[in-house]
Amino acid sequence: MSGSPPRITSSTVRDDFNSIEAVLHYTRAAVSLGLWESERILIKRFFADCDAPLLEAGCGAGRATLGMWALGYRNITAFDFAEELLEQAQSLAAERGADAIHFVHADATRLELPDGTTPFSSSGCSPLREQRDSVVDPSLRSRAGLRDPEAEVGPMFAGALFLFNGLMQIPGRENRRAAMRGLHGVCRVGAPFLFTTHDRDDAREEADLWDRERAAWRAGTQDPRLVEFGDRYIESREGRIFMHLPDQAEIIEDLAATGWRLEFTAMRREIAHESRAVRVFSDECRFWVARKFSDPR
CATH number at residue 178: 3.40.50.150
Whether 148 maps to a domain, the answer reads: yes
CA distance 52 to 38: 21
- Assess if residue 297 is contained within a domain: no
Is residue 99 assigned to a domain?
yes
Give domain status of residue 194, yes or no.
yes
Print pLDDT tens along the chain (297 aa).
457 889 999 999 999 999 999 999 999 999 999 999 999 999 999 999 999 999 999 999 999 999 999 999 999 999 999 999 999 999 999 999 999 999 999 999 999 877 778 888 754 344 343 333 333 344 434 444 444 433 444 579 999 999 999 999 999 999 999 999 999 999 999 999 999 999 999 988 899 999 999 999 999 999 999 999 999 999 887 789 999 999 999 999 999 999 999 999 999 999 999 999 999 999 999 999 999 987 655
Bridge partners, residue 264, by sequence: 289
The residue segments making up the domain with residue 248 are 10-292
Q: Report angle CA 227, 232, 237 to the nearest 5 degrees.
A: 135
Exposure class string for 43-74: b at 16+ Cβ within 10 A, else e: beebbeeeebbbbbbbbbbbbbbbbbbebebb
* CA–CA distance, 171 with 18 (Å, rounded to integer): 17
Question: Rounded to an integer, what distance in angstroms lies between the CA atom of residue 47 and that of residue 263?
Answer: 14
Q: Is residue 2 in some structural domain?
A: no
What is the CB neighbour count within 10 angstroms for residue 150? 7
Alpha helices by DSSP H, 146-193? 173-186
5 lies in some domain: no
The Cα–Cα gap between 249 and 251 comes to: 6
- Nearest partner of 27 among 86, 80, 101, 76, judged by Cα: 86
Q: How many domains does one find in the chain?
A: 1
Neighbours of 245 (CB within 10 A): 20
Length reported for the chain:
297
Residue-level pLDDT at 131? 36
